[in-house]
Amino acid sequence: MDRQELQKLRDLPIEGVAERLGLRVVRHKCLCPFHDDHHASLSFRVSKNTFRCFVCGASGGTIDLVMRYLNKDFKAACQWLSTQRGRFFLCTATQREPSPVCGFDASRYSRFFEHPWLNDEARRFLFEERRIDPRVARWCRITSWKDRQGVPWLQTPYYDREGRLIGVQNRNLIKGALPRFRFPQGAVTSIYNLPVLNRLKAGDELYIAEGCSDCWSLLSAGHKAIAIPSATLLTRKDIEQLSIINCQLSISYNMFPDNDVPGERLFLQLREVLPTLVRHQLPPDCKDFSEYYLQTNPSP
């Protein structure tokens, strides 16, 4: 590797390299992986592209960080960085684009989720029929309302990774009523439960569900999960977002595909973006994870 090549590796943004290693960087700091840290002692100097832990003294640049974190020698660390580089640039380039929140007036809706409130129909739907853990309902800030005709609706907010409201899904709680779902104008139903990504550590398992309610069941079963809005709606933007996640986090991806053709197709589509996606088979009598969850967690 010539000097110019080495300089390119040294110039890779250090915080990006740290995230690529699975460290979670918040305000130029992260938990130091080199000692038993509980207070984000490691800080990054973006201007110098370096890191330093003020407790254990670990310090250096991009190559040092990789050497120490992955326990590699100089040459192996450089090789690792070069293999990451292509993906890395793709990631940072895509990240810089502002998220399109066109047309959706988040300010009009965000107050609904400040104090989520579940009416009787919503409680029955979530806690009795689906046995969703109340903590999951709170984490997801699910709320409910009734329209002028008295129809009860479950209202589910979609947040981006930074916790900004980007969309709202309304679900009709009257069985068999149509339309089952309604979306405010301009609301994006992108990937659901993105804030959970901020809670992942390197090596964690992430489940990918089809739709919010399977996601709630997975969360209630103790998994970390996100959801694709619908098997038939995997958009270019979702794919882009998943590949960014794949670039940034060293985690494993898991899925229980629905026992039907769209479920299978979604799994295959997702595996193209997430090559390590692990498939878990549902028993033949369960059409989706929610049914499986009910079967394995019978009511007391």
Interface ranges with Zn ion (CB under 5 A): 32, 34-35, 53, 55-56
Q: Both ends of the chain: CA-CA distance in Å?
A: 64
Least distance (Å) between residue 15 CB and Zn ion: 16
Of 56 and 90, the one with the shorter C-beta distance to Zn ion is 56
CB 203, min distance to Zn ion, A:
19
| Whole-number Å distance between alpha carbons of 113 and 141 | 6
d(CA 21, CA 249): 7
Q: How far apart are CA 117 and CA 145, in angstroms?
A: 8
* Closest distance of CB 52 from Zn ion, Å: 9
- Rounded to a whole number of angstroms, the minimum distance from the CB of residue 71 to Zn ion is 16
State which residue, 26 or 93, has the beta carbon closest to Zn ion: 26
The C-alpha torsion from 234 through 187 and 143 to 108, rounded to 10°, is 160
Name which of 55 and 177 has its Cβ closer to Zn ion. Answer: 55
Question: CB 33 → Zn ion: shortest distance, Å?
Answer: 8
Taking the least distance from each CB to Zn ion, the nearer of 29 and 123 is: 29
Which sign does the torsion angle of CA 260, 140, 250, 88 carry? positive
Which DSSP symbol is given to 282? Answer: P
State which residue, 30 or 209, has the beta carbon closest to Zn ion: 30
Mind giving me the DSSP string for 70-111? HT--HHHHHHHHHHHHHHHHHHHHHHHSPP--TT--HHHHHG
